[in-house]
Amino acid sequence: MNEAELSVNTLFGGSLRVAQPRKGYRFSIDSVLLANFVRLRPGERVLDIGTGCGIIPLYLAKKGHANEMVGVEIQRSLYRSALANRELNGLPNVEFLEGDIRELQSELRKRPFHVIVSNPPYTKVRSGRKSPHISRLLARYELELDLSTLLSLSSSLLVRKGRLYVIYPALRSSEFIAEARQAKLEPKRLRFVHSREDERACMFLVECVKEAGPGTIVEAPLYVYGDSTYTEEVESYYRV
């Protein structure tokens, strides 16, 4: 992919630079919201399933987390963007792997993870208006990775008491919780995301803990917009 096919977005006052294709799938605010919901302790190994251009590991590393981080991406064009972005930002603690997470799980089990993060495809194949661009199609629709597969793989790759962080549509919250519990992933923190205060929740952020007991904390709602601009909280996510 040549430079003319890429655009560069900046965060943190320009200290984080993210190159991504001008056409096809591009990271959205969902990834930024999720990265800010994640809690990391020193020494914990992190896996990002469906890393895209690498935005979540890059964001966490640029925020000062020196943890070992691995991003897995099935689409070659996005994987190449992720590699370029690691070099662009000089982040040696971030690694990217190309391939289907189902085929990489044997290799990944050799180094179990304390934390898994995913902004997964969450539109069922038979619903919604499909994007004509293949990269957007794979990123949005459960063609290569459905919810059940994501949760079972995450459970198998996490250490006991390891944590899974996901952003998902609010309309599928009950389905997510039921499937997560089947995979021995107990939802421990929930935060619903609203575009504005007077609107219904559109998404939710969730932290699941492997083999944990029941009990869920529902945190204060997260509002993305005030009037026509981001709320102060969301605006702070883009600052150093």
C-alpha span between 166 and 163 (Å, rounded): 10
pLDDT score recorded for residue 140 = 52
The string of pLDDT tens digits covering residues 92-124 is 999 999 999 999 999 999 988 999 999 998 756
The string of pLDDT tens digits covering residues 49-71 is 999 999 999 999 999 999 999 99
- Number of Cα atoms under 13 Å in the Cβ half of residue 31: 22
pLDDT score recorded for residue 129 = 56
C-alpha span between 197 and 227 (Å, rounded): 10
Q: Of 93, 95, 92, which Cα lies nearest the Cα of 54?
A: 95
The length of the chain is 240
> pLDDT tens digits, the chain, 240 residues: what are they?
555 567 888 899 899 999 887 776 778 999 999 999 999 999 999 999 999 999 999 999 999 999 999 999 999 989 999 999 999 999 999 999 999 999 999 999 998 899 999 999 875 655 555 445 444 444 454 456 899 999 999 999 999 999 999 999 999 999 999 999 999 999 999 999 999 999 999 999 999 999 999 999 999 999 999 988 999 999 999 987
Q: Taking the CA atoms of 151, 153, 154 and 158 in sequence, report the sign of the dihedral they define.
A: positive
pLDDT score recorded for residue 8 = 87
Q: How far is CA 204 from CA 34, 170, 174, 226, in A?
A: 9, 5, 11, 18
C-alpha span between 108 and 51 (Å, rounded): 15
CATH 3.20.20.70 fits domain 3-236: no
The full set of domain ranges for the chain reads 3-236
